[in-house]
Amino acid sequence: MEFTREIYWNVGHGALTLVPMYLLAAIAIGLLVRGALQRIPLYKQGLPLNRTDQMGRRIAIMLENVLLQKKVTRVPWPGLLHGLFFWGFGLLVIGTTLIVIQADFTDLLFNVKFLKGTFYKLFSIVLDLAGLVCIVMLGGLLVRRYFFAPEGLETKKDDAIMHGLMFTILITGFIIEGSRMAVTEMGTPLAMWSPVGLIVANALSGLGQAGLLLLHKLTWWFHLLLVMGFFILIPLTKFRHILTTSSNYFFSDLGPKGKLVNLDLENEESETFGATNIKEMTWKDIFDADACTLCKRCQDRCPAFATGKPLSPMKVVNQLGETAFNNPEANLIEVVGKDVLWSCTTCLACQEICPAAIEHVGKIVELRRSMVLMEGEFPGEEVMTAMEATEVNGNPLGIGYAERGDWAEGLGIKSLADDAEVDVLFFVGCYGSFDKRNIAVAKSFVKLCQAAGVKVGILGKEEKCCGEPMRKMGNEYLYQSLAVENIEQIKAYGVKKIVTTCPHCYNTLAKDYRDLGLETPVEIYTVFLEQLIADGKLKIDATDLSCTYHDSCYLGRHNDIYEAGRNLIAAAGGKLVEMDKNRAEAFCCSAGGGRILAEEKIGERINIVRVKMAAETGASTLVSNCPFCLTMFEDGVKGAGVEESLRPKDIAEILAERIH
Amino acid sequence: MKILVCIKQVPDMESKFKVDAGGTWYAKTDLAWRMNEYDEYAVEQAVQLKEQAKDADLTVLCIGSDQVKETMKKALAMGCDRGAHIADDNASGKEPFEIAGVIAEYAKGKNFDLIFTGMQSQDRGSAQVGVLVAEMLGLPSVSTVVHFAYEGGAVVAKRELEGGIKACVKVQAPVVITCQLGMNTPRYPTLPNIMKAKKKELLSTPVQDLLKVDARQETARMYFPEKKGGGLVLEGDMAEMADKLIKILKEKTAVLA
């Protein structure tokens, strides 16, 4: 027999079928396009932003994430369910397209049929299995949402429409196939190439020929109407994510990762700074809300949300969208809430995991900028005091600037003012310079450099705070003032390479300072030390150490540096027991986002929660790579009551104790 | 309404101080400079009064070298309308009577309704300038004010006394007010105001033009207190240490009277 099927069998080949079919399709697609276009003016309420440069790269990112479902499947449950559903549905769409190509083009115009023989057999079985996979995956998603919904998952009318419509389309598809097979394919070798259809055909066989023909015809038209309905509903429901989420990959921030937009403070014409109104956010900030499918992966990972603060990154993103669509004159600070905005630690867990490539953090900082720069508002008086201390003495701790280099006395290193001929400038940072606990880390680093024969110099009292906590709090003006002065000093000494022991300083000098003219290469100490060991310049004795490792947000998610610290621990002889939440899933220590300057007044203390995670590993040392983390953990072990059993230490200290 | 607020630029108190070569003041090297804390309350209160009165002009005055203009800009950014810089490269060599004389000479004939100053400066701490200015101008003065209100020409103020007691004072403007901690929370200047401040009027007058009085006192010597005893570390069990501590507090201090 011929392995093929008659397209439009029973339904009719003539105008009576084709005209209404194409008419409905044209209307449905027209409404789809119109619905999508209607949303564009709403996005355009926001400020312009160029996200169409480097087209090739953008398209690649989009294809990778849409076709391979990379970000979606990163969280396998329920990510894989969606991925498999997507691939299955994609195959069904391709299948239908092939039928259209043959029926309305190659066969109609050239009498060429390709849906036959081996190709048709493959076509048939692939689509049958695809349809089955879709039904099973959709079933899984439905059961999860309606019977085993994880806490915080919002289910709306949209979801019911989407599940219902998809299911009905898939099921009617199999009814059409089954009823056709029951009449045309029973007992033929072709039937086994549509196994699911065969099962349906067997179930329907009792209807008799007339019944089957009627069922087939009616279901065919019903199926068509449902699919047209689906098209029309795309822009009107969460179905729009098919277009918006895919586009959002195209419109991604191409980096550097997490870098904030530089405010132009030179412009004398500017009257407002930061955003209070949706028109002061960018079109992308509004579009992100349309790309959001409320999957809540961001909320699940937000350290503030997890500890009782009112911040949900998902909610903030969607509130911006709602404001743009329903109430564009509203004051965004009032809509979102001040406590919500101040709670963010900029840990980037939300952005890292978001399968829709939404950018949460920049929106929060932009709103903070308006509170600080336009109102002089901060989360608390202690933050204002820290800002003023930084203005006066170049550090938020309020210690006299002239003492900044005193920690290094007697170590055998000089400030660049005394000797600028150095291999590297060690940018110490405020905590390494002034905080007793972190001075020990700075000293350890110097010791390691000297053991490796590296000549290190510091700026001493000519160094100022890098400005990072101030910038993340929204004080762009103070940040830029500090940055400009630091850059001037660094350039004046002709520094060739900068190394820092603070990930916040590292991130700021390596990324943010580029906007303000710093070109000097910047390295973080863990990578620097790793290289020294690899080159044989630094020899470390391995001695036993039971430990767990905390990936700081600013080395980890912000800079994708996860292995350097682990390699150093291995070199030191460490027996590393990982916490459940490690690497990109690490749980913030709470001090980022400028919150090192602020008091934590709402909910549970984030640092205690993280220390408890570390204690659970049974390790006796909690190794970190950031002065903020070290400070928060020293406080956290006391709060968690584990100070006798868990010691916080920096990786530099551990290595310095093991110099060969 | 015309308002004057007098401020001083002082070193940040966290700086490490050294006595200067002359032995009568602190050396000016390695210091971070800022507005005298008490003057911040004065500026804040003056700006609040200006906002309340709506049609008011607020001048900020400061005596010192060009360096003090930075601090004056902060006052302008907080809301002052114009700056009167009294150029003096040796302001720290003058005693409170001379400083008051310069300010009074500036203010003479300008009919300020209110003059605000800090209660004292963080470096010299004489607490005399505000009250002396009032006397020189023949005006009433209220010092150590922790609460200020203005209603139709009359000032209602609370002064802080010992033991947390407050004195309520009512006085007609014009009057000099010296400001104490607790009066208000000085605002953080907004960026638009910082930018406007760069363009506000800031006129310099040489101090010689305004110094019409003679000094009545001079600083003989400035020195660090001599080290006498060291710290005392109490040891022993908790109860013993508590007893020892109570004994010391009773005998050596006035904490447990």
| Candidate from A99-113, A558-572, A627-641, B105-119 with smallest mean pLDDT | A99-113
pLDDT, tens digit (0-9, with 9 covering 90-100), for A422-468: 999 999 999 999 999 999 999 999 999 999 999 999 999 999 999 99
Confidence bin at B59 (pLDDT 50/70/90): very high
Q: What would the mean pLDDT of A355-378 be, rounded to a whole number?
A: 98
Question: Which residues, 6 or more positions from B73, have their beta carbon under 8 angstroms from its beta carbon?
Answer: B83, B194, B197, B198, B202
The answer to whether A376 contacts B30, with C-beta atoms less than 8 Å apart, is no
Interface size A-B, in CB pairs within 8 Å, comes to 54
In terms of CA atoms, which chain A residue is nearest residue B17?
A400
Query: Is there a contact between B15 and A477 if contact means CB atoms under 8 Å apart?
Result: no
Q: Which residues in chain B have Cβ-Cβ distances shorter than 8 Å to A403?
A: 16
Nearest to A369 by CA among A399, A344, A396: A344
Residue A519 predicted with pLDDT over 90: yes
**Does B17 contact A at CB distance below 8 Å?**
no
At residue A2, does pLDDT exceed 90?
A: no
CATH number of A15-45+52-250: 1.25.40, 1.20.950, 1.10.10, 1.10.357? Answer: 1.20.950
Q: In this predicted structure, what is the pLDDT of residue A263?
A: 92
Mutate to test the interface with B, among A415, A434, A477, A480 (most CBs of B within 10 A): A477
Q: Does B192 sit within 8 Å of A273, measured CB to CB?
A: yes
Nearest-CA distance B51 → chain A (Å): 15
Pick the residue of A266, A373, A597 with the most B CBs within 10 A to test the interface with B by mutation.
Answer: A373
Q: Is residue B123 part of a domain?
A: yes
Task: Give, in order, the Cα–Cα distances in Å from A345 to each of A181, A474, A511, B209.
Answer: 60, 12, 18, 55
Q: Is B50 touching A (CB cutoff 8 A)? A: no
CB atoms within 10 A of CB A593: 28
- CA angle B199–B205–B208, rounded 5-degree value: 165
Scan for tokens 């939404």, then name that residue. Answer: A358
CB contact under 8 A, A402 and B14: no
3-state secondary structure of B194: helix
Q: What is the structure's pLDDT at B228?
A: 82
Q: How far apart are CA A274 and CA A366, in angstroms?
A: 5
What's residue A268's pLDDT? Answer: 79
Chain A residues with CB-CB distance to B14 below 8 A: 393, 398-400
Task: State yes or no: pLDDT of A627 exceeds 70.
Answer: yes
DSSP string, B77-117: HHT-SEEEEEE-TTGGGS-HHHHHHHHHHHHTTS--SEEEE
| pLDDT for B254 | 85
Interface test with B, best of A271, A392, A406 (most B CBs within 10 A): A392
The answer to whether residue B91 sits within a structural domain is yes
* pLDDT tens digits for range B144-193: 999 999 998 899 999 999 998 999 999 999 999 999 999 999 999 999 99
Q: Do domains A15-45+52-250 and A278-375 have the same CATH topology?
A: no
Task: Check residue B257 and give its pLDDT.
Answer: 64
Nearest one of A402, A385, A406 to A393, comparing CA atoms: A402
What's the distance, CA A565 to chain centroid?
23
Within a domain: residue B99? yes
Percent above pLDDT 70 for chain A: 100
pLDDT digits (tens, 9 = 90+) for A73-123: 999 999 999 999 999 999 999 999 999 999 988 988 899 999 999 999 999
Contacts of B256 (CB under 8 A, 6+ apart): B246, B249, B250
Which residue in chain A is spatially nearest to B9 when comparing CA positions? A392
Record the tokens describing residue A75, joined without a space: 């969280």
Closest CA of chain A from B29, distance in Å: 9
| Domain spanning A278-375: CATH superfamily | Alpha-helical ferredoxin (1.10.1060.10)
Cα dist. A49→A46, A287, B36 in Å?
Answer: 9, 12, 44
Q: Which residues of A touch B31 (CB under 8 A)?
A: 402
Residue B221 lies in a domain: no
Q: Do B191 and A375 touch (CB under 8 A)?
A: no
Count of structural domains within chain B? 1
Q: Which residue on chain A is closest to B13 by alpha carbon?
A: A400
Which residue in chain A is spatially nearest to B34 when comparing CA positions?
Answer: A392
The stretch A6-31 carries a mean pLDDT of 93
Whether B70 and chain A come into contact, CB under 8 Å, resolves to no
CATH of the domain at B110: 3.40.50.620
Copy the structure tokens of residue A318. Answer: 């969607």
Candidate from B16, B34, B189 with C-beta closest to A392:
B34
- Would you call B16 and A399 a contact, using CB atoms and an 8 Å cutoff? no
The 10s digit of each residue's pLDDT in A136-157 is 999 999 999 999 999 999 999 9
Report the Cα A554 to chain-centroid distance in Å.
Answer: 14
Q: Are B101 and B36 in contact (CB under 8 A)?
A: no
**What mean pLDDT is predicted for residues B2-14?**
97
What local confidence, expressed as pLDDT, does residue A609 receive? 98
ipTM comes to 0.90
- Taking the CA of residue B79 and the nearest CA in chain A, the distance in Å comes to 13
Q: What are phi and psi of A61, to 5 degrees?
A: -60, -40
> If you average pLDDT over residues A600-616, what whole number do you get?
97
| Residue in A272, A378, A393 nearest the CB of B32 | A393
Q: Is residue B180 part of a domain?
A: yes
Nearest-CA distance from A237 to chain B in Å? 42
Q: What is the pLDDT of residue A270?
A: 85
Phi-psi region of A54 (alpha: psi -120 to 50; beta: other; left: phi over 0): left
Give the B window 168-207 contacts with A, CB below 8 Å: 185, 187-192, 194-195
Nearest to B178 by CA among B139, B123, B127: B127
Full domain range(s) for residue B58: 2-209
Task: Specify the pLDDT at position A13.
Answer: 84
- B191 and A384 within 8 Å at the Cβ level: the answer is no
Cα–Cα dist A371/A5, whole Å: 67
- Tell me whether residues A374 and B191 touch, CB distance under 8 A: yes
- In chain A, where the domains are located: 15-45+52-250, 278-375, 419-660
Q: Would you state the pLDDT for residue A104?
A: 85
Residue B242 lies in a domain: no
**Which residue in A374, A392, A477 is closest to B32 by CB distance?**
A392
- Give the pLDDT score at A266: 82
Chain A residue numbers touching B34 (CB-CB < 8 A): 388, 392
- Among the listed residues B130, B106, B98, the one whose alpha carbon sits nearest the alpha carbon of residue B213: B98
Nearest to B190 among A374, A399, A400 (CB): A374
Burial of A115-152, coded b for 16+ CB within 10 Å and e otherwise, reads beeeebbebbebbbebbbbbbebbebbbeebeeeeeee
Query: What are the pLDDT digits (tens) for A205-230?
Result: 899 999 999 999 999 999 999 999 99
How distant is the Cα of A322 from the closest Cα of chain B, in angstroms? 29
A446 by Cβ neighbours in 10 Å (0-12 / 13-18 / 19+) ranks as buried
Interatomic CA distance for residues A459 and B205, integer angstroms: 38
Of the partner residues B14, B31, B187, the one whose CB lies closest to the CB of residue A376: B187
| Contact between chains at B192 and A392 (C-beta distance less than 8 A) | no
Position B190 in a domain? yes
Tokens of A454: 């590296």
For residue A368, the model assigns a pLDDT of 98
Per-residue confidence band for B54, with pLDDT thresholds at 50, 70 and 90: confident
Q: Is A260 helix (H, G, I), strand (E, B) or coil?
A: coil
Average pLDDT over residues A261-282: 91
To the question of pTM greater than 0.90 for the whole model, the response is yes
Distance from CA of A433 to the nearest CA of B (A): 15
Instruction: With respect to residue B254, please indicate whether it lies within any of the assigned structural domains.
Output: no
Q: pLDDT band for position B231 (50/70/90)?
A: confident
Contact B30 A378 (CB under 8 A): no
